[in-house]
Structures are given as C-alpha cells and as structure tokens.
Amino acid sequence: MNKLSVVGSSVIRKDALDKVCGKTRFSADIKIPGMLHVKVLRSKVAHGILKSIDISKAVTLPGVCTVLTAKDVPGTNSHGIILKDEPVLVNDKIRKIGDPLAIVAAETEKIASQALALIEIQIEALPVVSDPLEAMKSDSPTVHGESNILGQRKIRKGNIEEAFQKADIIVEKEYHTQTQEHAYIEPEAGVSYMDGDVVVIKVSTQNTHFDAREVARNLNLPVNRVRIIQAPTGGGFGGKLDVAVQNWLGLVTLHTGLPARMVYSREESIICSGKRHATTIRYKTAADQSGKLLGVKIEAFCDTGAYSSYGPAPVTRLAVHGTGPYEVPNVEIDAYTIYTNNPTAGAFRGFGVPQVTFACEQQLDMIAEIVGISPIDIRMMNTLKKDSLTATGQVIESITGIGEPLQAAYQKAKASIDQLKANETKTKKRGYGMGCMFYGTGNTGQPNPAGAFIDFLDDGTVNLMVGAADMGQGSSTVLAQIAAEELGVHFEDVKVTAADTGVTPDGGASSASRQTYISGNAVLKAAQTVKKLLLEEASIVFAVPADTIIFKDRHAHVSNEDTSAQSINVTELIRNCRRKGIMTIGHGSYNPNTIELDDETGVGCPYETYAFGSQIVEIEVDIETGEIEVLKIYAAHDVGQAVNPLQVDAQIEGACIQGLGYAIYEEIKKEQGKITTPSFSTYLIPTAMDMPEIHSIIVEEPSGNGPFGVKGLGETALVPTAAAIANALYDAIGIRLYSLPLTPEKVLEALQEKSI
C-alpha cells in the first residue's frame, strides 16, 4: 500500500496563528454599520401560562426599533433538533426559566436592556416539575401533553432473568450523574443582514444547514433564502447544535430589513443553553465466578428538562453503550427521556455515554474485586472483539476491542503506578484506576450523510467546499489533509470553505464524532472523482495502466519504478485536462451503512464502526479536605488512523480535562428549575492549575470504511475519565462514590461513614 504523506502528519491548522494572536473575529467582533442590538425578555418563572404581554411602553422608548412577540413569527413558532417542541417566542406556555417571551431590537445594547424592563407581562404560575423520577408518575403535572415521558429506549438481548438466576455474582447499584455545562469560551452570538432577498446569519454554530432549515421554517421562507454562515466558533461541545440567536436575528432582520447583532451574556448562556443530561442509573450486573459477564440490566432516567433538544439521541446512545465495551450475552436496558421544568439537556460531548460508563466501569471493578482478579484482567476477559455481538446484535469488526488501548495505556503507566503508593503521605493517599469505553461513530442508526464539492485548480491548488462546521475541533484541517492526501498535493494547497449554506453542501452536524469519518469520506469521494480524470491523463503520459500510478508531493509517479524517472507535476496533468476541455471538479457524498434500532428490542446496526479506548488515572486524595487531585492520565484511544496526530493529542487532552471537570468539579445546581450556579464563580471548571500530566497514546486499528481507516475521536476521550477517577478513588482510600461529581464534601462524608 502507498505510504501516507499528508494524512498522519501533524500539519498546523490554518486558524491557529490568528487565534493565538487574538486576530480571529468571532461573531461578537463583527460590526455592521447600522446594525441593531437584540435582546430577549426571558421568563423568570419555570412553569406557567403567559396571560398577557404589553410592549407598548417598550416600543416607544427612543432608540428602540422594534419589539417582537410570538405573533410576529411569520412561520411555524417552534424549533428543535429532534422534536419541534420549543417555541421561538412563547405564545402560551412557559416551561422553563429563560423561556423567550419577547425580543427587542434597539440602537444600543443598553437601550435594548432598558426596553426589556418596560415590557409588562402577566404569568399564571403552574406547579414546577423538577424531579424526573417524580415527573414520571402519572399524577405529576406535565410539561408537555399528557406525559412527561418523552421516550423509552429499550434494548433486549438473550434472557436477562435466566442470567441473574445463573449468576455467581450480582452487583447492583444506583448511580447519579449531574448536569454539566459546556462552558465554551465563546457564548452564543451572531449577526444578521439582508443580501438581496436572502436573510444572512453569521453565527457561532455546529450545524449551519440545520440552522437554515429551522430559521426558514420559523420565518416562512424557502431554505435557500436563509443563508447561515458559520463564524469562527469558540467551542461547541454539543451546545451549539441547538439554535440560539439564529431565529431571533432572522426575525429582526426580516422585519426591519436591517442588520442585527445578538450576543449572549455568560449568565444567559449558562441558563439558556442545553446541557448534559443529569441521570439516575440503576445498574445490575451478573457475572460467573471467573468474572465473565453474564448479564446487564439497566434502568436509566434522563432529565431532558423543558424541551427535547437532542435529548432522545443521547439517551439512546446511553442505552446502546450501556454494557460498555464488553460482550454481555443477556441484556435488558430501559432508558427514559423525561421532561421537567429544568434547563434543557441536549447534546454534550459523549452523548450519554460518560454517564453510563461511570456506572459500568465501577461495576466491573467491584466484580473483579469479588472474583479476585485485576481490573485489567476482567476487562480483557470481557472485551468486545472481532465477531463479538453488541447488545444491539451488531457484529464487531475490531480485532482487539479495548485490548490494544488498555495494554498500551498500562505499559506506559506501569512504572509510575508501581511507584505510586511509595509517594503517599499520611494525609495524602494515592491510587490509580481505569476506565474503558467504546463509542460508535456517527448518528445512531439514522441516515446522516455529508457532501463535498471539490475544484482542482489550474496551479494544483484545491478549493474544497464542505458543510462540516469547524468549531475548534479542527475538521477543516483534517478534511483538507484527506483531500490533499488523495490528490497528492500538500496540505497548504487546499483551501476549505466550510459551513456556509449558500454554497457548501450539507455536512450534517459537527457532533457524534462524525465529521472526520463521514465528511472525510465525502471529501475522499469527491477527490477520487477528480483524481480519476488525472489518472487517465497520467496513464497516457506514462503509457502504463492507471492503477500503477500514485500521486504524491504534487506529482504523479509510476508506483513500481524509481519515482524520479517517471514523474509528472499534477499541474501538467491538469493542463492536459484543460487542453481537452475537461473540468477537474467533482462532488462526493457519504452515508454510513446502518440499520435503525428496533423499538422493542433495540436490535439494529447503529454505527458502521466503533472506537475503543482506555484510560488509567493516578490521583491523590487529601483525606483532611476530601479533595481529589488528578496527577496523571494515560489515555490510549484507537482512532483507526490519526489524520493529524497533534490534533488527536489535543482532542484527547481537551476531552480528558473536560472529563476531569465532570468527574470532580462541575455541577449545574438547580432549585425548582432555577440554576443557582449561573457563573464561573459558582460553576467551577478546571483551570490550567488543575491540569494533570496527560499522556495521550494513539492506537491505530484501521476501520473498514473510514477514510484511510479513520474512526471518530471527538468525544471518546471524555467518556471514561470520570469512571477511571472514581475507580482510582477506591484504590486510594477504599471509598466508592456512586454520584458525580466526586466533591470533597462527598469524599469526606464517605470517609466519615467508613470510619464509623
């Protein structure tokens, strides 16, 4: 096989220098002459009926251009990723604090704020539903319709009752995971303007094409009269998959014809954006006396808050990945998506899997302890591997499953682990733990194609048009690398235009770790279309069959000869094409081959490929304060093929630190639907000082269908971190916590209980 030259190389992303130099102009930095400033009047009530709204005083305030309410929405007054259950502007029912009641567009932000205060509203309060388990009861007040149960994902495999009857060991625990905030560095923001009859919105987003469809529905416009262009985006992590400012900006610009700008405050961002689902997970595991898993039964209760957002998808993912990366012959999983009046939960890096992994991986350690084998042995014994059947009945293609990552992480960690206890003090105890994971690449059993257009220009440079939004994860870089590799040019030869619904094809969401795999395949196919034309030309030039020619370093070579002897610059081949009037352009698209899950059994083929990974963490616990310090993380992840090893390292490091925050710091606290931690002084995220030594270890077992063997990576390294830390906590001080985050208070309380 031809050795790769651009794929696999740590080229420097093109946006790096501008970002580190502060030159990048994010949405909030864009100034358009005459633009209006838009603010939203938001409900302070979590559940109620909007009885009246009087904008008469607000609209007459000097400097106010317009005040819009539900009646001003020309199209469908609803939006949502999976269900359209969220109003653009509340017409009748308020379902959460922060629900939008009216928008003001004014000459300055200050005037807009003043006008908000002049809007008079009357709300009839309703009882607040804030506990998801209470919400499931038939006598609970409902948030939408007749039941708060939005969905139930069932997975059935084998005979779970029999498994528990036959089991030597049964471990059953209830786990609780908290609501997590994405805490992206850039809050929601955008600008809008008319370009002829097209409403253009430049916005911080993860999915321009979805946004365009939503805004078009809300504005009652054809989709191609709404153009969403992704502005440089300061992080998303799933939270910018929901529309935020988009439809309000569209409304203002459509109503006034004027440009507009809207920027969330940090508090608004925390209160109003979707979050990671808080869950209650009842996890029951059956094993034989050797530690071999016989059965897993899970009940998971996931609080989606007031609106569904991406909700059902993470809950499905939680269920699909409920057994962890292990072969379990008998499975029964019921995962519920539950409406409450809490803040909406939607997509968040990991999509439900970090929650269930926190449970699954602790269960495994507990069984290993009972059996008397090591955490590694129980994992190696049970791992999914080639031809294993998942809980949904899918046959695994990976040969080793977690085997290779786990061995790699352990080999790297071993020397350090061996020294770990030696460095303990009387009050500072140390331990290590591991967490393993698997994660399906792409949307779960649903079509989720992506497209690409490509233009191989006369001088051998390339224009690549893709829908994939790069919100910092680096998709534009890796997609350029894939195009460059296939066309045999250099990374810097490829210019990517991404995520502009006016000119790029739909790439689907930048979520579910899918873009490198799916848009990557679309790019590959587009490049192959063009390359075929050049291969034909090269075949004529060299008088050899096209399949003996390789493209590399801006040249075509005959593969089985001394390359210097038989080599031609690609620009000459393009020139040959041009002389014949052949355009070197192409399109490509890709959709992974999946089968939708059966509603009753979950049987199906949810993903084309799975990524496997293992993390080993070392921690130190201060038994006087209860504080956990994570010292080191050895994170080994199978990415199939690292397109850009430096970016893979960065993804792993970023995910580990976000997973560390999830494990020990971060928690959105709520009281009756109200967030009591709406700032970074009350909602703590890890800082540079909390950063452990992270050893990222890249494992590459190529997938069958990913471009150059790629598997999804974006989320994977967040998945097992919290579980590994929880297992390390037990190793350090013999305490097992079943509730995230692992706060000093919980540690101290458990220590106290233990000592009693």
Rounded-to-integer distance, Cα 140 and Cα 600, Å? 26
- Of the two residues 34 and 145, which places its CB atom closer to a copy of itself in the complex? 34
Closest to 476 measured CA to CA, from 14, 7, 9, 18: 14
Of 124, 173, 163, 213, which is closest to residue 730 (Cα–Cα)? 173
The amino acid at residue 41 is: L
- Minimum CB separation of residue 448 from a copy of itself in Å reads 7
- Complex with a copy of itself: residue 44 or 587, whichever CB lies closer: 587
User: Are the C-beta atoms of residues 184 and 683 closer than 8 Å to each other?
Assistant: no
DSSP letter string, 45-103: -SSEEEEEEE-HHHHTSTTEEEEE-GGG--S-S-B-SSS--B-SS-SSEE-STT-EEEE
Cα 567 from Cα 489, distance rounded (Å):
14
Q: How near is the Cβ of 75 to a copy of itself at its closest, in Å?
A: 12
Q: Could you tell me the strand order of the sheet in which 189-195 lies? A: 64-68, 100-106, 36-42, 260-263, 189-195, 198-203, 226-230
Q: 348 or 453: whose CB is closer to a copy of itself?
A: 453
Q: Which amino acid is at 708?
A: F
Specify the residue for token string 């430096």: 646
Closer Cβ to a copy of itself, 15 or 627, answer by number: 15
- Cβ of residue 455: shortest distance to a copy of itself, in angstroms? 5
Min dist CB 700 to a copy of itself, Å, is 27
Q: Considering beta carbons, is residue 13 or 632 the nearer one to a copy of itself?
A: 13
Nearer to a copy of itself, 147 or 463 (CB): 463
Report the alpha-carbon distance of residue 728 to residue 726 in Å, rounded: 5
User: Which position has the token pair 């620009």?
Assistant: 571
Shortest spacing between CB 503 and a copy of itself, in angstroms? 4
Least gap, CB of 74 to a copy of itself (angstroms): 15
**Shortest distance (Å) from residue 108 CB to a copy of itself:** 19
User: Smallest distance, Å, CB 442 to a copy of itself?
Assistant: 10
Report, in Å, the least distance between residue 429 CB and a copy of itself: 51
Nearer to a copy of itself, 14 or 93 (CB): 14
Work out how close the CB of 508 gets to a copy of itself at its nearest, in angstroms, rounded to a whole number. Answer: 10
Nearest Cα to Cα of residue 404 among 425, 427, 422, 386 = 386
Decide: 143 and 247 in contact? Cβ < 8 Å. Answer: no
Least distance to a copy of itself from the beta carbon of 4, Å? 23
Rounded-to-integer distance, Cα 280 and Cα 299, Å: 8
Q: Which tokens is 73 given? A: 């929405």
Helix (H) / strand (E) element for 283: namely strand 278-287
Dihedral class, residue 611 (left if φ above 0, else alpha if ψ from -120 to 50, else beta): beta
Q: What residues contact residue 43 under an 8 Å CB cut-off, 6+ apart?
A: 50, 90, 94, 96, 97, 98, 99, 100, 101, 123
Whichever of 200 and 345 has its CB closer to a copy of itself, that residue is 200
Q: Min. distance of Cβ 29 from a copy of itself in angstroms? A: 13
Query: Who's near 718: CB < 8 A, 6+ residues apart?
Result: 349, 350, 354, 655, 656, 658, 659, 662
Q: Crossing angle, helix 246-256 and helix 208-219, to 10 degrees?
A: 50
Q: How far is 1 from 641, CA to CA, in rounded Å? A: 15
Rounded CA-CA distance 465/452 in Å is 6
Whichever of 449 and 673 has its CB closer to a copy of itself, that residue is 449
If the CB atoms of residues 372 and 581 are measured against a copy of itself, the closer one turns out to be: 581
Taking the C-alpha atoms of residue 341 and residue 59, their distance in angstroms, rounded to an integer, is 31
Strand, coil or helix: 500:
strand
CA angle 727, 730, 734 (to 5 degrees): 165
User: What is the Cα–Cα distance from 365 to 173, expressed in whole angstroms?
Assistant: 13
Query: Is 354 or 505 the residue whose CB approaches a copy of itself more closely?
Result: 505
Least separation in angstroms between CB 490 and a copy of itself: 10
Shortest Cβ distance from residue 450 to a copy of itself (Å)? 7
User: What is the rounded distance in angstroms from the CA atom of residue 34 to the CA atom of residue 256?
Assistant: 12
* Least distance from a copy of itself to the Cβ atom of residue 89, Å: 23
Of 25 and 71, nearer to a copy of itself (C-beta) is: 25
Q: Which is nearer to a copy of itself, 451 or 488 (CB)?
A: 451
In the complex, the residues that contact a copy of itself under the rule CB under 8 A are 14-15, 18, 196-198, 213, 216, 222-225, 447-451, 453, 455, 457-459, 461-463, 465, 493-495, 497, 500-506, 522, 529, 578-583, 585-587, 589, 591-592
Helix (H) or strand (E) segment spanning residue 146: none
By C-beta, is 173 or 225 nearer to a copy of itself?
225
Residue 119 contacts residue 53 (beta carbons within 8 Å): yes
Tokens of 9: 């190389």
* 180 and 349 Cβ atoms separated by less than 8 Å: no
- Measured from the CB atom, is 586 or 709 closer to a copy of itself? 586
For the chain, what's the residue count?
756
Could you tell me the smallest distance in angstroms from the CB atom of residue 249 to a copy of itself? 20
**Using DSSP, how many helices (H) and how many strands (E) does the chain show?**
18, 28
Judged by beta carbon, residue 588 or residue 678, the one nearer a copy of itself is: 588
Measured torsion, CA atoms of residues 319, 320, 325, 326, in degrees rounded to the nearest 10: 80
List the structure tokens of 663: 């494990």
